[in-house]
Amino acid sequence: MRNSSQHAERRGPSEPLRDSVRQTLSLLEEVVTTGGPQLTAREVGRVVSVGQGVARLRGLPGVEAEELVRLQGGVLGMAYNLDPEEVGAILLGASRELTAGSLAHRTGRILDIPVGEELVGRVVDALGRPLDERGPLRLAERRPVERPAPPILRRAPVARPLQTGLKVIDSLLPIGRGQRELILGDRQTGKTAIALDTILNQRDKNVICVYCAIGQRSSAVAKFLEYLRRYDALSYCIVVVASGDEPPGVQFIAPYAATTMAEFFMERGQDVLIVYDDLTRHARAYRELSLLLRRPPGREAYPGDIFYVHSRLLERSTQLREEYGGGSLTALPIAETQAQNISAYIPTNLISITDGQIVLSPQLFRKGILPAVDVGRSVSRVGGKAQMPCYRAVASELRLSYSQFEELEVFSRFGTRLDEDTIAMLERGRRVREVFKQPQYKPLPVPEQVAVLLAASEDLLNAIPVERTAEAEQAIRKAVVTELPDLGERMASGAKLTKDDRDDLRRVIGAIVADMGEVEDGASA
């Protein structure tokens, strides 16, 4: 009996053991058949030479244009020159650790960046990596940096205004949603200030703003970010930074990456404003890369495709049709001139690509006429169709009369006797110029702008001295808000000015001018 029990004890534990062995063998068989190690072919090349922002590679016969290449040390490069013997790559990082002979291999994917709602309110670099120390971005969707522009059949006419909050622009050079308006001028004339005021004016207007800094000093970018935070504008902005310290390849891809981020919102039916600051530095970065890659230079040493570089970027800004979402992407590219030479190579190219230009004058800037917009040389080729009716009612003749005043003022300095009509035109023009002056960081709503422009266009301010025009403007703006709130709401909603509306505005403005005139008479007495 004892032998049989011992034999049973020895057989008992063997059944679970067999089961576990069977399970283990089945798992191993499954792993071998489905998830076993697989051999994958990978093209590996070597660095032939390294330059300032570029590298020349050999041994990558199947690499594609704009494909990401991973170099030794984790540095990323973008294949750009596909020559028979070697590949010219644009480096997207520091090249200090790269030397001739370093390994390089294909990644199999085109240069792309993350896009999504989480980008709003963040500061990122051209590759979508956060720079604001607010933690990583968890974005699942990625899109290529280079994307084709929307075809013609998907585009709708520009028919909705984009208010800048600046009187001289909204009245004389209106911008529509989906338009591309170039801001042009010498350095230190207020180009970025106009873009910043436009961004500040989009608060509570359901417009996403994207600011792309290209080749700017880090201190200038930090100052811009400080103003966005101070005026609570960063909450609806995306800031893409490729400062002057970055390699030229990063500066080159920055505006395309920013546009891809903006297109994500446009294709979802939202309105987006994008500012490129500035495309002159972008062109210089591309010229540097092209010369390092030994591409043949053309005019001013720029490569032959510099026009296409900017046209394929700006053509992505448009107003989509309703069946494709109805969103819009409005572009404000900035370009720098030298000695007001708007016929230089890059400014001429950008003028021919965009739908108008806002030209800033250093002479007006030095005189304190800010924003220093040269009305005679500025134009908006599309936005007039999108301008609010209340602006057209009060500013239709203002542009012509103001341009005539500027020419007449120059010639009047050479004459001693002027007729009464000339004197009246000069007096009116001086007051219009004072009205167009506007401090920075203070964009104005539509009703206040229209009231002040009506006063200037109908000579209602002629009874007060020129130096008191700013004081009268302040009183008019305040009176419109307090005494005519219903009229202000109608103007802001896009309604036309009726005869009764104009009479109400004249009555309010006339009372203010009369009070100021009485004070002036009392003071003189």
Strand duo 182-185 + 356-359: pairing? parallel
- Two tokens, residue 175: 């911008």
Q: Residue 522 has what pLDDT? A: 58
Residue carrying structure tokens 């009703």: 447
Residue type, 444: L
310 and 381 belong to one structural domain: yes
342 and 476 belong to one structural domain: no
- Two tokens, residue 57: 């590679």
- Two tokens, residue 213: 């800094």
Q: Residue 524 has what pLDDT? A: 56
Strand duo 87-91 + 76-82: pairing? antiparallel
Q: Residue 16 has what pLDDT? A: 66
Q: Residue 409 has what pLDDT? A: 86
Give the integer Cα–Cα distance in Å for 200 and 190: 15
* Nearest alpha carbon to residue 199 among 262, 270, 272: 272
50, part of any domain: yes
CA distances, 214 to each of 89, 210, 254, 286 (Å): 20, 13, 7, 12
- Two tokens, residue 517: 């005139």
Single pTM value for the model: 0.90
2, part of any domain: no
* Nearest alpha carbon to residue 370 among 233, 187, 166: 166
The 3 state secondary structure assigned to 138-196 is CCCCEEECCCCCCCHHHECCCCCECCCCCHHHHHHCCCECCCECEEEECCCCCHHHHHH
Residues in the chain where the model's pLDDT stays below 50: 1-2, 4-12
Q: Which of 343, 367, 385 is the last residue of a domain?
A: 385
Segments forming the whole domain that contains residue 366: 114-133+141-385
98 and 128 belong to one structural domain: no
Q: Residue 35 has what pLDDT? A: 59
Of 203, 284, 381, 392, the active-site residue reads: 381
Q: Residue 430 has what pLDDT? A: 92
Sign of CA dihedral 137, 143, 149, 150: negative
Contacts of 165 (CB under 8 A, 6+ apart): 197, 198, 200, 201, 442, 443, 444, 445
| Other beta carbons less than 10 A from residue 384's beta carbon | 17
220 and 363 belong to one structural domain: yes
What's the angle, vertex CA 221, arms to CA 169 and CA 120, rounded to 5? 80
Give the 3-state secondary structure of residue 303.
strand
Binding site members: 185-192
Q: Which helix (H) or strand (E) holds 69?
A: strand 67-71
17, part of any domain: no
124 and 257 belong to one structural domain: yes
Give the count of domains, the chain: 3
Read off the CATH number of the domain in which 444 is found: 1.20.150.20
- Two tokens, residue 54: 């570029």
Q: Which helix (H) or strand (E) holds 345?
A: helix 345-353
Give the integer Cα–Cα distance in Å for 7 and 12: 9
Kindly give the residue spans of alpha helices, DSSP state H, lying in 216-247.
218-230
404 and 460 belong to one structural domain: yes
Binding site members for ATP: 185-192
Give the 3-state secondary structure of residue 295.
coil
Residue carrying structure tokens 């750009």: 80
- Two tokens, residue 148: 């084709």
Half-sphere exposure of 275 (CA within 13 A, CB side): 25
38, part of any domain: no
Give the 3-state secondary structure of residue 356.
strand
451 and 341 belong to one structural domain: no
367 and 405 belong to one structural domain: no
Contacts of 40 (CB under 8 A, 6+ apart): none
Read off the CATH number of the domain in which 67 is found: 2.40.30.20
- Two tokens, residue 368: 């304190």
Strand duo 328-336 + 182-185: pairing? parallel
5, part of any domain: no
Q: Which of 365, 385, 405 is the last residue of a domain?
A: 385
294, part of any domain: yes
298 and 185 belong to one structural domain: yes
300 and 232 belong to one structural domain: yes
- Two tokens, residue 355: 């739908």
**122 labelled catalytic:** no
Strand duo 67-71 + 54-58: pairing? unpaired
Give the integer Cα–Cα distance in Å for 237 and 239: 6
Give the integer Cα–Cα distance in Å for 77 and 272: 30
381 and 407 belong to one structural domain: no
CA distances, 354 to each of 184, 186, 369 (Å): 12, 19, 26
Q: Which of 347, 365, 385 is the last residue of a domain?
A: 385
216 and 356 belong to one structural domain: yes
Q: Residue 487 has what pLDDT? A: 93
Q: Residue 37 has what pLDDT? A: 59
129, part of any domain: yes
Read off the CATH number of the domain in which 154 is found: 3.40.50.300
105, part of any domain: yes
